[in-house]
Amino acid sequence: MSIIDTRTPDPKRLISGATGDWEVVIGMEVHAQVTSQSKLFSGASTSFGAEPNNNVSLIDAAMPGMLPVINAECVRQAVRTGLGLNAQINLRSVFDRKNYFYPDLPQGYQISQFKAPIVGEGKITVSIGPDSRGQFEDVEIGIERLHLEQDAGKSIHDQHPTMSFVDLNRAGVALMEIVSKPDLRSSDEARAYLTKLRTIVRYLGTCDGNMDEGSMRADVNVSVRRPGETFGTRCEIKNVNSIRFVGQAIEYEARRQIAILEDGGTIDQETRLFDAAKGETRSMRSKEEAHDYRYFPDPDLLPLEFDQAFVDALAADLPELPDDKKNRLIKDMGLSAYDASILVTEKAIADYFEAVAKGRDGKMAANWVINDLLGALNKASLAIEQAPVAPEQLGGIIDLISEGSISGKIAKDVFEIVWNEGGVPADIVESRGMKQVTDIGAIEKAVDGIIAANPDKVEQARAKPTLAGWFVGQVIRATGGKANPQAVNELVKAKLGLEE
């Protein structure tokens, strides 16, 4: 692999050690399970949570004489993912055997792609932030390649005192290994990269991105160096299965390497594990123990070939991806980059927002979705799909504000009622008498009452007109928050004899 340093050291991202600053360099190999009903080379099901060894065909069990047949859907999904990563699609790729012995690998080798992967170089844009000023910084991260390979089975050691069990349900399931260039320079960037990758595959529907079900896991390569120096020796932390753990593993590993180097030592290239309970990485095997996989092209499989028309058809059918959606929301709906970034993180959130914003003020819809809806969902630990308030209901609340029927403050109460009890916002407002009072007579009576009760304040306000705000507040409170603020404001000024 051609390792090119594309970044200049950024003081903000440096780690200070005992003897000066250090830069951390990270590259990730992400395994993403392809969304497909059946496995990469067999018709066995890929359903999650099946009874052990129920999703196993003769091919997955590596019975003698069985021949693998490539699953066309997995090929389509890999190409679509490559397109989503702005990557080179290779019209010809080769499946190789990666040989090693493991009890949960009945073939004695994994079918993977080595020299000629299905997808070559690409790039994705990752937003880092927001910083203390609410700003995001966009960083471009290079993709080295994406290749297709089989997953292995699972050895289970904790079910029996003297025996281990093997579950082959995962054996042969299609994985996409997505390899980044060593372009990442902080744990924040690494977390943002993985998050973005997950967002992209979820938009595409090529991987469900569920890290807790093992559908996505990351090998994290970490090295450190003095700013401006060439790349240092890396350690690879295997199979990290949450975005938070990726961040923790990098922080720990960078500091461990810095401590060794500052102590005059050297880094051994090795494979390490992240222990989530202890928050530390520890050695699994050194370079000397590294496998020799004796890769060679699988003689049971022809090279994988398709034409440009196949790729073009898939490209034409791609859904709108998060970056494009974000730009459209900024351009067409007048949203800030900040709001748009938040709304596109999950396709379901963007869909919800667009349903609310349709025919309404985009900025207002964005505020309600981000601050009120997402805030409440977060507090209740609910996903957007479980939101008790549907887009039509939130839209209904916004309409009531826009037409002057309720104030923004009352709208929050309506939102809470809909959240807890359901219902049509307009009906709730009507039946519970929450409508804003625009009846000038009623407001006038309230204004007169407050003025009569506070002669001293009237004197002060006449001398200092900004104090009129106090009267406005009192009147609105006296009407239970229902008085139209603009009408109150005008009446208060008129009654106090203040000019506009």
Name the token pair of 391.
């887009």
Give the residue, chosen from 22, 28, 89, 109, that forms a contact with ligand ADP under the rule CB under 6 A.
Answer: 28
- In the bound state with ligand ADP, the residue whose beta carbon lies nearer, of 233 and 241, is 233
CB-nearer residue toward ligand ADP: 56 or 78: 78
Alpha-carbon span 208 to 287, nearest angstrom = 33
Q: At its nearest, how many Å lie between ligand ADP and the CB of residue 180?
A: 5
Is the CB of 261 or the CB of 397 nearer to ligand ADP? 261
Which amino acid type is present at position 226?
R
Shortest distance, position 121 Cβ to ligand ADP, whole Å? 12
Q: Which of 21, 29, 73, 137 binds ligand ADP (CB under 6 A)?
A: 29
Contact region with ligand ADP (CB under 6 A), list: 22-30, 47-55, 114-122, 435-443: 22-30
What is the C-alpha separation between 468 and 472, in angstroms, rounded?
7
Whichever of 292 and 500 has its CB closer to ligand ADP, that residue is: 292
Mapped onto helix, strand or coil, the DSSP state of residue 206 is coil
Beta strand pairing call for 216-225 and 137-150: unpaired
Q: By CB under 6 A, name the one of 181, 196, 202, 256 that touches ligand ADP.
A: 181
Residue for token digits 């690494």? Answer: 190
- 26 contributes a contact to ligand ADP by CB under 6 A: yes
Tell me whether residue 165 or residue 293 sits nearer to ligand ADP (CB atom): 293
Q: By rule CB under 6 A, what string of x and - marks binding of each residue 469-488 to ligand ADP? A: --------------------
Considering the rule CB under 6 A, would residue 182 count as an interface residue with ligand ADP? yes
Smaller CB separation from ligand ADP, 68 or 122: 122
Dist. CA 219–CA 315, nearest whole Å:
29
Nearest to 215 by CA among 47, 46, 33: 33
Question: For ligand ADP, how many residues bind (rule: CB under 6 A)?
Answer: 17
Rounded to whole angstroms, the Cα distance separating 410 from 407 reads 5
Residue nearest to ligand ADP (CB): 27
**Which residue's CB is nearer to ligand ADP, number 288 or number 421?**
288
Residue from 13, 22, 27, 419 in contact with ligand ADP (CB under 6 A): 27
The only residue of 223, 242, 436, 489 in contact with ligand ADP, by rule CB under 6 A: 223
Q: If DSSP codes are grouped into helix, strand and coil, which group holds residue 359?
A: coil
Q: Residue 499 corresponds to which tokens in the numbers above?
A: 């000019």
Q: How many residues does the chain have?
A: 500
| Residue from the set 25, 89, 152, 476 that interacts with ligand ADP by CB under 6 A | 25
Q: Which of 31, 14, 32 is nearest to 23 (CA)?
A: 14
User: How far from the centroid of its chain's Cα atoms is residue 92's Cα?
Assistant: 32
User: 22 vs 352, which CB is nearer to ligand ADP?
Assistant: 22
Smallest distance from the beta carbon of 230 to ligand ADP, in angstroms? 9
Q: How far apart are CB 252 and ligand ADP at their closest, in Å?
A: 15
Question: Which of the residues 228 through 267 are near ligand ADP (CB under 6 A)?
Answer: 231-232, 234
The answer, yes or no, to whether the previous bond of 130 is cis (omega within 30 of 0) is: yes
Task: Kindly state the smallest distance separating residue 206's Cβ from ligand ADP, in Å.
Answer: 20
Cβ nearer to ligand ADP, comparing 224 with 373: 224
- DSSP output for 378-447: HHTT--GGG-SS-HHHHHHHHHHHHTTSS-HHHHHHHHHHHHHH---HHHHHHHTT---B--HHHHHHHH
Pairing assessment for the beta strands 109-112 and 96-99 based on DSSP bridges: antiparallel
Radius of gyration of the chain (CA): 30
The dihedral over CA atoms of 457, 462, 463, 466, expressed in degrees to the nearest 10, equals 80
List the helix and strand counts (H, then E) for the chain.
Answer: 16, 16
For 288, counting Cβ atoms within 10 Å of its Cβ (0-12 exposed, 13-18 middle, 19+ buried), the class is exposed
Q: How far is CA 499 from the centre of its chain?
A: 53
Residues 220 and 190: beta-carbon distance below 8 Å? yes
Nearest approach in angstroms of CB 168 to ligand ADP is: 26
Nearest-approach distance from CB 233 to ligand ADP, in angstroms: 7
Does 4 bind ligand ADP (CB under 6 A)? Our answer is no
Contact range with ligand ADP by CB under 6 A, out of 26-34, 170-178, 294-302, 419-427: 26-34
Residue among 192 and 418 whose Cβ is closer to ligand ADP: 192
- If the CB atoms of residues 1 and 309 are measured against ligand ADP, the closer one turns out to be 1
394 is an interface residue for ligand ADP by CB under 6 A = no
- Cβ atoms within 10 Å of 215's Cβ, excluding its own: 21
Cα distance between residue 50 and residue 41, in whole Å: 19
Q: Which is nearer to ligand ADP, 181 or 347 (CB)?
A: 181
Place of tokens 């997808």: 119
Q: Which stretch binds ligand ADP (CB under 6 A): 25-33, 280-288, 317-325, 348-356?
A: 25-33
Cβ proximity to ligand ADP, 23 vs 60, nearer residue: 23
How many CB atoms within 10 Å of residue 264? Answer: 6
What tokens were used for 88?
Answer: 């080179």
Tell which one of 221, 341, 407, 436 touches ligand ADP (CB under 6 A).
221
CB of 211 to ligand ADP, least distance (A): 18
- Using CB under 6 A as the criterion, what x/- string covers residues 151-180 for binding ligand ADP? ----------------------------xx
Q: How far apart are CA 213 and CA 211, in angstroms?
A: 5
Q: Which residues bind ligand ADP (CB under 6 A)?
A: 1, 3, 25-29, 179-182, 221-223, 231-232, 234
